[in-house]
Amino acid sequence: MSSILYSPLQIKSITLKNRIAISPMCQYSAKDGFANDWHLVHLGSRASGGAGLIIQEATSVSPEGRISPGDLGLWKDEQIEKMQQINRFIIGQNSVPGIQLAHAGRKASAATPWEGGKKLDPAHGGWETVAPSKIGFHDDETTIALDKQGIQKVISDFKLATKRAVQSGFKVMEIHAAHGYLLHQFLSPLSNLRRDEYGGSFENRIRFTLEVLAAVQSEWPEDLPLFVRISATDWAEGGWNIEESVQLSKILKEKEVDLIDVSSGGLVLHQQIPLGPNYQVAFAERIKKETGVLTGAVGLITEAVQAEEIVASGKADLILFARESLRNPNLGLTFAKALNTDVQWPKQYDRAKVR
């Protein structure tokens, strides 16, 4: 039986050689938003390792939108050149380069994980953060509620970053509306207490995400794939939930979003997540079945047979690997053996291929 995981997936003008994607994973290794050789090797090795799609980490649309001072950015033209180099290498490995554009909102201005991950104050390299409402991620934190001018600036920042992403050579765009970052903060009633047209009702809470989407679409080529990553649930009472995620996904599909990258959580510290293999797959499956949109499944998917079952049974169309790809940069090559599937290896590595 032929493998579905290793079958091509065409989305608009782009054909992925398989259903294996590398999830955007922060490396906290940039300086002033600039990519460097770490990113070249990190992303490039996973392209040579056989994945069909490589999505660059959450790339901030503005300096204040970074999670940490080490985040990548696309807020100025000078940041384009290194990304062009990385993308040329990825394409040269018969893989597709993607980018996730993001704004961290109230979760910005944090130290890197290996430095403790705590909020940085301006005296120690941090900056003021923004959010839909004056509710910090931690109880002892403050944040600024975005006014209308601030909202329009963020929308403009996404538009300009998208233009630079096109110039950088990316072929897939993903808008980050998950994991407790700014767009997700507007979606959830736990973090959005606004009383204007951006808060309250479901229609109002999704407004900002839809306006960002429209700004991105104004610069992103119509023939290239456009993804949105969402947190399907906050895993917290009174928060954003799967029913709202299905409703939003229907709207996004109508607005010509090609794939919903379905994750969960990240908004509040009191979330209760039942971690385990495939713990988020049911969300991707429900969204796919109820809306007809393509979905990507993520979260504790670590084995080839496990990934094959998800796509072969129609639960999702794409598998996005994060930590497992850190442990195994060549999983696109090595998983094929477990599925008795022959794939092309880089000619430089072909002598190591098990025949």
Write out the chain's pLDDT in tens, 355 residues. 599 999 999 999 999 999 999 999 999 999 999 999 999 999 999 999 999 999 999 999 999 999 999 999 999 999 999 999 999 999 999 999 999 999 999 999 999 999 999 999 888 899 999 999 999 999 889 999 999 999 999 999 999 999 999 999 999 999 999 999 999 999 999 999 999 999 999 999 999 999 999 999 999 999 999 999 999 999 999 999 999 999 999 999 999 999 999 999 999 999 999 999 999 999 999 999 999 999 999 999 999 999 999 999 999 999 999 999 999 999 999 999 999 999 999 999 999 986 6
For the question of residue 6 being annotated catalytic, the response is: no
pTM of the complete model? 0.97
In the DSSP assignment, the letter for residue 178 is -
Q: Is residue 38 part of a domain?
A: yes
pLDDT at 139: 85
pLDDT at 140: 85
Q: Is residue 4 part of a domain?
A: no
- Give, in degrees to the nearest 5, the angle at Cα 128 between 124 and 134: 135
pLDDT at 156: 98
Q: Is residue 227 part of a domain?
A: yes
Q: Which CATH number belongs to the domain containing residue 127 in this structure? A: 3.20.20.70
pLDDT at 65: 98
Q: Are 214 and 301 in contact (CB under 8 A)?
A: no
Q: Which of 141, 117, 147, 112 is nearest to 129 (CA)?
A: 141
Q: Is residue 355 part of a domain?
A: no
CA distances for 330 relative to 59, 246, 291, angstroms? 24, 34, 33
C-alpha 35/C-alpha 48 separation (Å) is: 19
Sign of CA dihedral 268, 245, 22, 225: negative
Q: Which entry of 28, 181, 198, 349 is annotated as an active-site residue?
A: 181
pLDDT at 157: 98
User: What is the tally of structural domains in the chain?
Assistant: 1
pLDDT at 1: 57
Sign of CA dihedral 326, 328, 329, 331: negative
Amino acid letter, 189: P
Q: Is residue 259 part of a domain?
A: yes
Q: Containing domain of residue 231, as a range?
A: 9-350
CA distances for 113 relative to 27, 34, 119, angstroms? 10, 19, 11
pLDDT at 355: 61
C-alpha 38/C-alpha 77 separation (Å) is: 20
C-alpha 220/C-alpha 299 separation (Å) is: 28
Residues 6+ apart with CB under 8 A from 148: none
Q: Is residue 24 part of a domain?
A: yes
Q: Is residue 155 part of a domain?
A: yes
Instruction: Provide the CA 236 distance to its chain's centre, in angstroms.
Output: 22
